[in-house]
Structure 1
Amino acid sequence: MKRLTISAIAIAMIVASCGNAGNSDPKEQADSTNEARIEDSANPGAQPAVSEEDSKFAVDAANGGLAEVQLGQAAQAKATDPKVKEFATLMIADHTKANDELKSLAGIKGITLPSAPSEEMQKDAADINAKAGKDFDKAYIDQMVKDHKKTVELFEDGQKNVKDAELKAFIDKTLPVLKTHLEHIQTIEKSK
Protein backbone atom coordinates (compact mmCIF):
# COMPACT_ATOMS: atom_id res chain seq x y z
CA MET A 1 0.00 0.00 0.00
CA LYS A 2 2.84 2.44 0.83
CA ARG A 3 4.46 1.70 -2.52
CA LEU A 4 1.17 2.55 -4.27
CA THR A 5 0.85 5.84 -2.39
CA ILE A 6 4.47 6.82 -3.08
CA SER A 7 3.97 5.97 -6.76
CA ALA A 8 0.78 8.03 -6.87
CA ILE A 9 2.60 10.99 -5.33
CA ALA A 10 5.45 10.67 -7.81
CA ILE A 11 3.04 10.49 -10.74
CA ALA A 12 1.06 13.48 -9.47
CA MET A 13 4.26 15.52 -9.11
CA ILE A 14 5.45 14.56 -12.59
CA VAL A 15 2.06 15.38 -14.13
CA ALA A 16 1.94 18.68 -12.23
CA SER A 17 5.45 19.63 -13.31
CA CYS A 18 4.77 18.67 -16.93
CA GLY A 19 1.58 20.67 -16.94
CA ASN A 20 3.50 23.67 -15.62
CA ALA A 21 6.62 23.28 -17.78
CA GLY A 22 5.99 26.64 -19.43
CA ASN A 23 4.41 28.22 -16.37
CA SER A 24 6.73 30.48 -14.42
CA ASP A 25 4.04 32.15 -12.31
CA PRO A 26 4.89 31.34 -8.66
CA LYS A 27 1.25 31.59 -7.55
CA GLU A 28 0.02 29.22 -10.24
CA GLN A 29 2.83 26.77 -9.45
CA ALA A 30 1.84 26.74 -5.77
CA ASP A 31 -1.84 26.26 -6.66
CA SER A 32 -0.99 23.33 -8.97
CA THR A 33 1.20 21.65 -6.35
CA ASN A 34 -1.54 21.97 -3.74
CA GLU A 35 -4.20 20.63 -6.11
CA ALA A 36 -2.05 17.57 -6.86
CA ARG A 37 -1.49 16.98 -3.13
CA ILE A 38 -5.22 17.29 -2.39
CA GLU A 39 -6.13 14.92 -5.21
CA ASP A 40 -3.58 12.39 -3.95
CA SER A 41 -4.91 12.63 -0.39
CA ALA A 42 -8.11 10.98 -1.65
CA ASN A 43 -6.12 7.74 -2.07
CA PRO A 44 -6.38 5.23 0.79
CA GLY A 45 -3.51 5.58 3.25
CA ALA A 46 -2.53 9.05 2.06
CA GLN A 47 -2.00 11.81 4.57
CA PRO A 48 -5.04 14.11 4.66
CA ALA A 49 -4.58 17.58 3.26
CA VAL A 50 -6.43 20.78 4.02
CA SER A 51 -9.35 21.58 1.75
CA GLU A 52 -8.81 23.14 -1.64
CA GLU A 53 -10.51 26.34 -0.40
CA ASP A 54 -8.14 26.54 2.56
CA SER A 55 -5.02 26.05 0.45
CA LYS A 56 -6.27 28.58 -2.12
CA PHE A 57 -6.82 31.12 0.65
CA ALA A 58 -3.28 30.53 1.95
CA VAL A 59 -1.75 30.89 -1.52
CA ASP A 60 -3.72 34.08 -2.26
CA ALA A 61 -2.85 35.57 1.14
CA ALA A 62 0.84 34.76 0.70
CA ASN A 63 0.83 36.18 -2.82
CA GLY A 64 -0.60 39.46 -1.58
CA GLY A 65 1.73 39.60 1.41
CA LEU A 66 4.81 39.05 -0.74
CA ALA A 67 3.70 41.82 -3.09
CA GLU A 68 3.15 44.24 -0.17
CA VAL A 69 6.70 43.67 1.08
CA GLN A 70 8.16 44.03 -2.42
CA LEU A 71 6.28 47.27 -3.10
CA GLY A 72 7.09 48.55 0.39
CA GLN A 73 10.80 48.11 -0.28
CA ALA A 74 10.47 50.03 -3.54
CA ALA A 75 8.55 52.81 -1.79
CA GLN A 76 11.16 53.10 0.94
CA ALA A 77 13.76 53.72 -1.76
CA LYS A 78 11.76 55.87 -4.20
CA ALA A 79 8.93 57.68 -2.39
CA THR A 80 9.26 61.43 -1.91
CA ASP A 81 6.48 61.90 0.66
CA PRO A 82 7.55 61.06 4.24
CA LYS A 83 4.05 59.69 4.98
CA VAL A 84 4.39 57.26 2.06
CA LYS A 85 7.83 56.16 3.25
CA GLU A 86 6.46 55.66 6.77
CA PHE A 87 3.57 53.58 5.40
CA ALA A 88 6.02 51.52 3.33
CA THR A 89 8.02 50.76 6.48
CA LEU A 90 4.83 49.61 8.18
CA MET A 91 3.99 47.40 5.18
CA ILE A 92 7.37 45.70 5.27
CA ALA A 93 7.22 45.06 9.02
CA ASP A 94 3.59 43.91 9.28
CA HIS A 95 3.46 41.87 6.09
CA THR A 96 6.82 40.20 6.74
CA LYS A 97 5.52 39.15 10.15
CA ALA A 98 2.23 37.84 8.70
CA ASN A 99 4.07 36.14 5.81
CA ASP A 100 6.35 34.35 8.29
CA GLU A 101 3.38 33.20 10.39
CA LEU A 102 1.53 31.97 7.32
CA LYS A 103 4.63 30.21 5.98
CA SER A 104 5.08 28.38 9.28
CA LEU A 105 1.41 27.39 9.39
CA ALA A 106 1.47 26.29 5.74
CA GLY A 107 4.47 24.08 6.45
CA ILE A 108 2.58 22.33 9.22
CA LYS A 109 -0.52 21.94 7.03
CA GLY A 110 1.39 20.76 3.95
CA ILE A 111 0.42 23.79 1.87
CA THR A 112 2.85 25.01 -0.77
CA LEU A 113 3.04 28.80 -0.92
CA PRO A 114 4.41 30.92 -3.76
CA SER A 115 8.06 31.91 -3.47
CA ALA A 116 7.45 35.30 -5.09
CA PRO A 117 4.46 37.44 -6.07
CA SER A 118 2.43 36.36 -9.11
CA GLU A 119 3.40 37.58 -12.57
CA GLU A 120 0.42 39.95 -12.47
CA MET A 121 1.59 41.53 -9.21
CA GLN A 122 5.17 41.69 -10.47
CA LYS A 123 3.93 43.54 -13.56
CA ASP A 124 2.03 46.00 -11.36
CA ALA A 125 5.19 46.53 -9.30
CA ALA A 126 7.28 47.10 -12.43
CA ASP A 127 4.75 49.68 -13.70
CA ILE A 128 4.90 51.52 -10.36
CA ASN A 129 8.71 51.29 -10.22
CA ALA A 130 8.94 52.87 -13.68
CA LYS A 131 7.59 56.09 -12.17
CA ALA A 132 9.47 58.68 -10.15
CA GLY A 133 8.75 61.46 -7.69
CA LYS A 134 5.14 62.39 -7.03
CA ASP A 135 4.00 60.08 -9.84
CA PHE A 136 5.58 57.16 -7.98
CA ASP A 137 3.96 58.21 -4.70
CA LYS A 138 0.52 58.46 -6.34
CA ALA A 139 0.87 55.10 -8.12
CA TYR A 140 2.03 53.41 -4.89
CA ILE A 141 -0.84 54.91 -2.87
CA ASP A 142 -3.39 53.88 -5.52
CA GLN A 143 -2.00 50.34 -5.59
CA MET A 144 -2.03 50.07 -1.80
CA VAL A 145 -5.67 51.15 -1.62
CA LYS A 146 -6.62 48.67 -4.36
CA ASP A 147 -4.57 45.82 -2.84
CA HIS A 148 -5.82 46.36 0.71
CA LYS A 149 -9.47 46.48 -0.37
CA LYS A 150 -8.92 43.18 -2.19
CA THR A 151 -7.02 41.64 0.74
CA VAL A 152 -9.59 42.69 3.34
CA GLU A 153 -12.27 41.08 1.16
CA LEU A 154 -10.14 37.90 0.83
CA PHE A 155 -9.77 37.66 4.62
CA GLU A 156 -13.46 38.42 5.26
CA ASP A 157 -14.39 35.64 2.84
CA GLY A 158 -11.83 33.45 4.59
CA GLN A 159 -13.56 34.05 7.92
CA LYS A 160 -16.71 32.55 6.42
CA ASN A 161 -15.27 29.80 4.23
CA VAL A 162 -11.94 28.54 5.63
CA LYS A 163 -12.43 25.32 7.54
CA ASP A 164 -9.07 24.77 9.23
CA ALA A 165 -9.13 26.13 12.81
CA GLU A 166 -5.51 27.35 12.79
CA LEU A 167 -5.94 29.14 9.47
CA LYS A 168 -9.12 30.73 10.85
CA ALA A 169 -7.16 31.92 13.90
CA PHE A 170 -4.55 33.44 11.56
CA ILE A 171 -7.33 35.22 9.65
CA ASP A 172 -8.96 36.52 12.85
CA LYS A 173 -5.60 37.84 14.08
CA THR A 174 -4.54 39.41 10.77
CA LEU A 175 -7.78 40.95 9.47
CA PRO A 176 -7.91 43.85 11.98
CA VAL A 177 -4.34 44.80 11.00
CA LEU A 178 -5.28 44.78 7.32
CA LYS A 179 -8.30 46.99 8.00
CA THR A 180 -6.06 49.42 9.86
CA HIS A 181 -3.68 49.47 6.86
CA LEU A 182 -6.59 50.25 4.53
CA GLU A 183 -7.81 53.10 6.74
CA HIS A 184 -4.26 54.47 7.03
CA ILE A 185 -3.59 54.47 3.27
CA GLN A 186 -7.02 55.95 2.54
CA THR A 187 -6.19 58.79 4.93
CA ILE A 188 -2.93 59.39 3.03
CA GLU A 189 -4.81 59.22 -0.27
CA LYS A 190 -7.34 61.86 0.90
CA SER A 191 -4.56 64.21 1.97
CA LYS A 192 -3.18 64.30 -1.58
Structure 2
Amino acid sequence: MTDHKATDRRNTQEAGGVKHTLNKAVDAAGGMVGQADAATTSKADQFAQSAAISDMYEIESSRIALDRTQNPSVREAAQKMIDDHTDSSAKLETAVRQSPKVKPSAVPNEPDKRRETMLDHLREAPADEFDRTYLKQQVMAHEEATRLMHNFRDEGDCQVLRSFATEVSPIIEGHLDHMKRLETNMPR
Protein backbone atom coordinates (compact mmCIF):
# COMPACT_ATOMS: atom_id res chain seq x y z
CA MET A 1 0.00 0.00 0.00
CA THR A 2 2.75 2.44 0.95
CA ASP A 3 4.67 1.70 -2.28
CA HIS A 4 1.59 2.62 -4.34
CA LYS A 5 1.28 5.95 -2.53
CA ALA A 6 4.95 6.73 -3.09
CA THR A 7 4.67 5.74 -6.76
CA ASP A 8 1.54 7.85 -7.19
CA ARG A 9 3.26 10.82 -5.56
CA ARG A 10 6.32 10.36 -7.81
CA ASN A 11 4.12 10.10 -10.91
CA THR A 12 2.24 13.25 -9.91
CA GLN A 13 5.51 15.12 -9.38
CA GLU A 14 6.85 13.92 -12.74
CA ALA A 15 3.63 14.96 -14.49
CA GLY A 16 3.85 18.36 -12.80
CA GLY A 17 7.45 18.68 -13.94
CA VAL A 18 6.51 17.86 -17.53
CA LYS A 19 3.64 20.34 -17.43
CA HIS A 20 5.93 23.03 -15.99
CA THR A 21 8.49 22.37 -18.75
CA LEU A 22 5.76 22.68 -21.40
CA ASN A 23 4.48 25.87 -19.76
CA LYS A 24 7.97 27.39 -19.93
CA ALA A 25 8.17 26.52 -23.64
CA VAL A 26 4.77 28.12 -24.31
CA ASP A 27 5.86 31.24 -22.40
CA ALA A 28 9.11 31.45 -24.39
CA ALA A 29 7.28 31.11 -27.71
CA GLY A 30 4.79 33.76 -26.61
CA GLY A 31 7.67 36.02 -25.64
CA MET A 32 9.14 35.77 -29.12
CA VAL A 33 5.78 36.63 -30.68
CA GLY A 34 5.41 39.55 -28.28
CA GLN A 35 8.85 40.91 -29.13
CA ALA A 36 8.11 40.71 -32.85
CA ASP A 37 4.83 42.58 -32.34
CA ALA A 38 6.51 45.17 -30.12
CA ALA A 39 9.18 45.84 -32.74
CA THR A 40 6.52 46.80 -35.30
CA THR A 41 4.06 48.78 -33.16
CA SER A 42 3.92 52.34 -34.46
CA LYS A 43 0.19 53.15 -34.30
CA ALA A 44 -1.00 54.99 -31.20
CA ASP A 45 -3.97 52.75 -30.46
CA GLN A 46 -1.90 49.56 -30.73
CA PHE A 47 0.83 51.05 -28.58
CA ALA A 48 -1.60 52.17 -25.86
CA GLN A 49 -3.18 48.72 -25.77
CA SER A 50 0.18 46.94 -25.62
CA ALA A 51 1.59 49.26 -22.96
CA ALA A 52 -1.55 48.92 -20.81
CA ILE A 53 -1.51 45.12 -21.06
CA SER A 54 2.20 45.07 -20.26
CA ASP A 55 1.61 47.08 -17.09
CA MET A 56 -1.34 44.88 -16.09
CA TYR A 57 0.76 41.76 -16.52
CA GLU A 58 3.64 43.23 -14.50
CA ILE A 59 1.37 44.24 -11.65
CA GLU A 60 -0.56 40.95 -11.47
CA SER A 61 2.49 38.70 -11.86
CA SER A 62 4.23 40.64 -9.11
CA ARG A 63 1.22 40.31 -6.82
CA ILE A 64 1.45 36.56 -7.36
CA ALA A 65 5.16 36.76 -6.53
CA LEU A 66 4.46 38.61 -3.29
CA ASP A 67 2.08 35.82 -2.30
CA ARG A 68 4.36 32.94 -3.26
CA THR A 69 8.03 33.84 -2.98
CA GLN A 70 10.11 33.19 0.11
CA ASN A 71 13.09 35.09 -1.32
CA PRO A 72 13.50 38.64 0.09
CA SER A 73 15.22 39.87 -3.11
CA VAL A 74 12.39 38.59 -5.28
CA ARG A 75 9.84 40.05 -2.87
CA GLU A 76 11.54 43.45 -3.01
CA ALA A 77 11.71 43.34 -6.83
CA ALA A 78 8.05 42.34 -7.08
CA GLN A 79 6.99 45.26 -4.89
CA LYS A 80 9.04 47.62 -7.06
CA MET A 81 7.33 46.24 -10.17
CA ILE A 82 3.92 46.88 -8.63
CA ASP A 83 4.85 50.41 -7.59
CA ASP A 84 6.56 51.41 -10.85
CA HIS A 85 4.02 49.82 -13.19
CA THR A 86 1.11 51.31 -11.23
CA ASP A 87 2.79 54.69 -11.75
CA SER A 88 3.38 53.90 -15.43
CA SER A 89 -0.29 52.95 -15.84
CA ALA A 90 -1.37 56.31 -14.41
CA LYS A 91 1.01 58.14 -16.76
CA LEU A 92 -0.25 56.12 -19.71
CA GLU A 93 -3.84 56.94 -18.79
CA THR A 94 -2.98 60.65 -18.75
CA ALA A 95 -1.16 60.40 -22.09
CA VAL A 96 -4.09 58.53 -23.66
CA ARG A 97 -6.50 61.25 -22.48
CA GLN A 98 -4.23 63.86 -24.08
CA SER A 99 -3.79 61.90 -27.30
CA PRO A 100 -5.92 62.86 -30.28
CA LYS A 101 -5.34 59.38 -31.75
CA VAL A 102 -6.57 57.06 -28.99
CA LYS A 103 -9.96 56.82 -27.35
CA PRO A 104 -9.62 55.93 -23.66
CA SER A 105 -12.25 53.22 -24.16
CA ALA A 106 -9.88 51.50 -26.62
CA VAL A 107 -7.43 50.71 -23.82
CA PRO A 108 -8.18 47.28 -22.31
CA ASN A 109 -8.77 46.77 -18.62
CA GLU A 110 -7.61 43.15 -18.50
CA PRO A 111 -4.63 41.22 -19.86
CA ASP A 112 -4.72 39.55 -23.26
CA LYS A 113 -4.86 35.76 -23.64
CA ARG A 114 -1.07 35.41 -23.94
CA ARG A 115 -0.40 37.27 -20.67
CA GLU A 116 -3.28 35.51 -18.93
CA THR A 117 -1.69 32.20 -19.92
CA MET A 118 1.64 33.38 -18.50
CA LEU A 119 -0.09 34.36 -15.27
CA ASP A 120 -1.71 30.91 -15.10
CA HIS A 121 1.69 29.29 -15.61
CA LEU A 122 3.13 31.41 -12.83
CA ARG A 123 0.30 30.43 -10.49
CA GLU A 124 0.85 26.75 -11.37
CA ALA A 125 4.66 26.80 -11.05
CA PRO A 126 5.98 24.31 -8.49
CA ALA A 127 7.15 26.00 -5.29
CA ASP A 128 10.78 25.06 -5.92
CA GLU A 129 10.60 26.59 -9.42
CA PHE A 130 8.50 29.63 -8.64
CA ASP A 131 11.24 32.27 -8.29
CA ARG A 132 13.04 31.12 -11.44
CA THR A 133 9.74 31.07 -13.35
CA TYR A 134 8.82 34.56 -12.15
CA LEU A 135 12.23 35.99 -13.02
CA LYS A 136 12.32 34.30 -16.44
CA GLN A 137 8.89 35.73 -17.24
CA GLN A 138 9.98 39.14 -15.97
CA VAL A 139 13.04 39.17 -18.22
CA MET A 140 10.92 38.20 -21.25
CA ALA A 141 8.22 40.76 -20.41
CA HIS A 142 10.73 43.56 -19.90
CA GLU A 143 12.58 42.70 -23.10
CA GLU A 144 9.28 43.01 -24.92
CA ALA A 145 8.33 46.23 -23.12
CA THR A 146 11.75 47.75 -23.83
CA ARG A 147 11.39 46.95 -27.50
CA LEU A 148 7.84 48.36 -27.51
CA MET A 149 8.91 51.63 -25.86
CA HIS A 150 12.01 52.10 -28.02
CA ASN A 151 10.18 51.38 -31.25
CA PHE A 152 7.29 53.69 -30.46
CA ARG A 153 9.59 56.40 -29.14
CA ASP A 154 11.43 56.33 -32.48
CA GLU A 155 8.63 55.45 -34.93
CA GLY A 156 5.30 56.18 -33.23
CA ASP A 157 2.58 58.25 -34.84
CA CYS A 158 1.57 60.24 -31.73
CA GLN A 159 3.87 62.74 -30.02
CA VAL A 160 2.12 62.54 -26.65
CA LEU A 161 2.61 58.77 -26.51
CA ARG A 162 6.14 59.06 -27.90
CA SER A 163 6.92 61.32 -24.94
CA PHE A 164 5.41 58.75 -22.58
CA ALA A 165 7.57 56.00 -24.16
CA THR A 166 10.66 58.19 -23.81
CA GLU A 167 9.88 58.87 -20.15
CA VAL A 168 9.27 55.26 -19.09
CA SER A 169 11.95 53.57 -21.22
CA PRO A 170 14.79 54.11 -18.70
CA ILE A 171 12.64 52.69 -15.88
CA ILE A 172 11.81 49.57 -17.89
CA GLU A 173 15.46 49.18 -18.92
CA GLY A 174 16.40 49.37 -15.25
CA HIS A 175 13.84 46.69 -14.43
CA LEU A 176 15.22 44.47 -17.19
CA ASP A 177 18.79 44.81 -15.91
CA HIS A 178 17.69 44.14 -12.33
CA MET A 179 15.65 41.06 -13.27
CA LYS A 180 18.52 39.67 -15.34
CA ARG A 181 20.87 40.09 -12.36
CA LEU A 182 18.41 38.38 -10.02
CA GLU A 183 17.87 35.55 -12.51
CA THR A 184 21.63 35.06 -12.94
CA ASN A 185 22.19 34.95 -9.18
CA MET A 186 19.24 32.65 -8.43
CA PRO A 187 20.47 29.42 -6.83
CA ARG A 188 19.85 26.29 -8.88
TM-score calculated relative to the size of structure 1: 0.70
The Cα offsets for residues 148-177 of structure 1, whole Å up to 9 and x where unpaired, read as 011101111111111222111111110000
Q: Which has the higher contact order (CA 8 A, sep 6+)?
A: 2
Q: What is the percent sequence identity of the aligned residues?
A: 23
For 2:71, the equivalent position in structure 1 comes to 81
Question: Distance between the aligned counterparts of 2:128 and 2:108, measured in 1?
Answer: 32
For 1:67, the equivalent position in structure 2 comes to 57
Say whether the 8 Å CA contact 2:98–2:160 is kept in structure 1: no
Q: Partner amino acid for 1:183?
A: D
For 2:161, the equivalent position in structure 1 comes to 167
Question: Distance between the aligned counterparts of 2:158 and 2:152, measured in 1?
Answer: 10
TM-score calculated relative to the size of structure 2: 0.72
Question: Distance between the aligned counterparts of 1:163 and 1:53, measured in 2?
Answer: 6
Task: Specify every segment of 5 or more residues in structure 2 that has no aligned partner in the other structure, as ranges.
Answer: 1-41
Say whether the 8 Å CA contact 2:150–2:166 is kept in structure 1: no
Matched ranges for 1:1-192 at <5 A: 53-109=43-99, 110-111=103-104, 112-192=106-186
Say whether the 8 Å CA contact 1:80–1:133 is kept in structure 2: no
Q: Partner amino acid for 1:125?
A: L
Question: Distance between the aligned counterparts of 2:79 and 2:148, measured in 1?
Answer: 23
Superposition CA RMSD, Å: 1.3
Question: Distance between the aligned counterparts of 2:98 and 2:160, measured in 1?
Answer: 10
Say whether the 8 Å CA contact 1:78–1:132 is kept in structure 2: no
Say whether the 8 Å CA contact 1:63–1:116 is kept in structure 2: yes
Task: Specify every segment of 5 or more residues in structure 1 that has no aligned partner in the other structure, as ranges.
Answer: 1-51
Cα offset for 1:184? Answer: 0.2
Question: Distance between the aligned counterparts of 2:128 and 2:135, measured in 1?
Answer: 10
Say whether the 8 Å CA contact 1:145–1:185 is kept in structure 2: yes
Cα offset for 1:133? Answer: 2.6
Say whether the 8 Å CA contact 1:80–1:134 is kept in structure 2: no
Cα offset for 1:80? Answer: 1.6
Point out the structure with the larger helix share. Answer: 2
Secondary structure, counterpart of 1:80 in structure 2: coil
Question: Distance between the aligned counterparts of 1:139 and 1:80, measured in 2?
Answer: 14
The Cα offsets for residues 22-56 of structure 1, whole Å up to 9 and x where unpaired, read as xxxxxxxxxxxxxxxxxxxxxxxxxxxxxx71111
Cα offset for 1:107? Answer: 2.8
Question: Distance between the aligned counterparts of 1:150 and 1:183, measured in 2?
Answer: 13
Question: Distance between the aligned counterparts of 2:71 and 2:153, measured in 1?
Answer: 35
Cα offset for 1:86? Answer: 0.6
Q: Partner amino acid for 1:56?
A: Q
